[in-house]
Amino acid sequence: MIEDLEDFIDAFDEVKLLNWVQTHRSGPTGVGKTLEDLLEIPENNLDEPDFGEYELKAARKNNNSMLTMFTKAPEPARSNRVLLDKFGYSSDKYDNGKKVLHATLSADRFTNIEGSGVQLKLHCDEEKISIQSNDRIEDIYWSKDNLEKAFNKKYKNKLVYVKSDSRGTGDKEEFKYLEAYLLSGFDYDSMINFLEQGIIKVDIRIGQYSDGRIHDHGTAFRLATKDFPLMFQSELLDSKKL
């Protein structure tokens, strides 16, 4: 069981020796899911670190992917229902005839919502981050107090980031895990600063079951891997240094 950074480094050295490993899940999250399985770290969708005080993230090398920092539904209660009813749209990707709302929002520009003529963005003030439409600031938001609690509970300022080569596609994709880094120097104030600049974005992924119930796929605060140098200091994790 991995409980601290030394345990992780030892286990990751074993993973690197495996060379190419077939994905345990198709799609963007396969690189992280497969690594967690190999390290015997339970998949964690809770507001807690993945092991010890460390959050673990993995990404494909040379792929400008977006990594989820944490997920947090907006306030007040039933906000996802309001968003779906007001801004949702039908999608050919789903066969139940229900609405979906998939959008990546940032504070520096409006995002067009598919087939609706509506645009949404994030509006930041001293107390909260709100969703803003073309003509008004909606009463749907994340209070900064609750964002700070979510951030600090998930990270505790300790993040391990793994890079992987990849080949193939879908459920035939394979990964070769290469390097692990300890990222530091980030805190809640930095996160808010980058959110206000539009560097950190919010992914809204709301769907609907055939019986009409809301399906929240996870409203995620996300950062592009290319922007890591702006936010983090990095240190290569190497067993030779232990």
Q: Do residues 155 and 201 touch, judged by C-beta distance below 8 A?
A: no
How many other CB atoms sit within 10 Å of the CB of residue 78? Answer: 11
Architecture of domain 5-241: 2-Layer Sandwich (3.30)
pLDDT, one tens digit per residue, over 69-105 is: 889 999 999 999 999 999 998 876 655 568 899 999 9
Q: Do residues 65 and 170 touch, judged by C-beta distance below 8 A?
A: no
Selection from 197, 189, 184 nearest residue 223 by Cα? 197
Least confident interval from 60-74, 97-111, 172-186, 192-206: 60-74
Domain ranges of the chain: 5-241
pLDDT, one tens digit per residue, over 136-173 is: 999 999 999 999 998 888 776 688 999 999 999 999 99
Q: Do residues 191 and 198 touch, judged by C-beta distance below 8 A?
A: no
Proportion of the chain in helix, strand, coil states, percent, rounded to 5:
25, 35, 35
